[in-house]
């Protein structure tokens, strides 16, 4: 069933999407060799809450974290661990932000070292700026989809 959203709800979802996009950008800056997945999760939760949002996944059916983090070939929606990023790692990050009862959830996949070809290919496929203000009919291909690692 499709529930039509009012203009105010759509704008609220866009504000939640702004927090998601900004959180992904911040995590992208912090993701580098030597950082742990638990540290990225802590940074993301603090960042989201400082902006008035709530990490949507945290506490959902007992899920313990703000982010779903999956390094390398791990399937999506991994629970953050003390795994330390290494140069060349590919890290899938999923998160949701609830803001004023409205939820935004994009997806991003980045290497720990942003100089690799994989980073540029992925950035082209799922640009964060497009995620920020995306409406359902405008969503880029692959934004909310599963993939084979």
E strands present in 28-100: 54-55, 67-71, 90-95, 97-99
Which burial class, exposed, middle or buried, applies to 55 when counting CB atoms under 10 A from its CB (0-12, 13-18, 19+)?
A: buried
Could you give the CA distance from residue 120 to residue 19 in angstroms, rounded to a whole number? 23
Class level of CATH domain 7-138: alpha beta
pLDDT digit of tens for each residue in the chain (149 aa)? Answer: 888 989 999 899 989 999 998 998 899 889 889 999 999 999 999 999 999 999 999 999 999 999 998 888 777 778 999 999 988 888 888 899 999 999 998 754 555 555 444 444 444 333 332 223 333 444 444 443 333 33
Which burial class, exposed, middle or buried, applies to 92 when counting CB atoms under 10 A from its CB (0-12, 13-18, 19+)?
A: buried
């Amino acid at each position: 069933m499709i529930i039509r959203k009012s203009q105010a709800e759509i704008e609220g979802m866009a504000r939640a999407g702004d927090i998601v996009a900004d959180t992904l950008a911040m995590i992208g800056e912090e993701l580098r060799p030597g950082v742990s997945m638990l540290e990225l999760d802590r940074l993301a939760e603090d960042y989201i809450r400082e902006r008035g949002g709530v990490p949507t996944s945290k506490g959902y059916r007992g899920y313990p974290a703000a982010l779903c983090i999956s390094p390398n070939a791990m399937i999506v929606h991994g629970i953050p661990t003390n795994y330390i990023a290494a140069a060349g790692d590919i890290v899938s990050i999923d998160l949701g932000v609830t803001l004023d009862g409205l939820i935004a959830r994009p997806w991003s996949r980045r290497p720990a070292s942003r100089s690799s070809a994989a980073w540029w290919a992925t950035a082209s496929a799922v640009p964060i700026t497009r995620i920020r203000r995306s409406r359902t009919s405008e969503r880029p291909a692959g934004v909310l989809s599963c993939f084979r690692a």
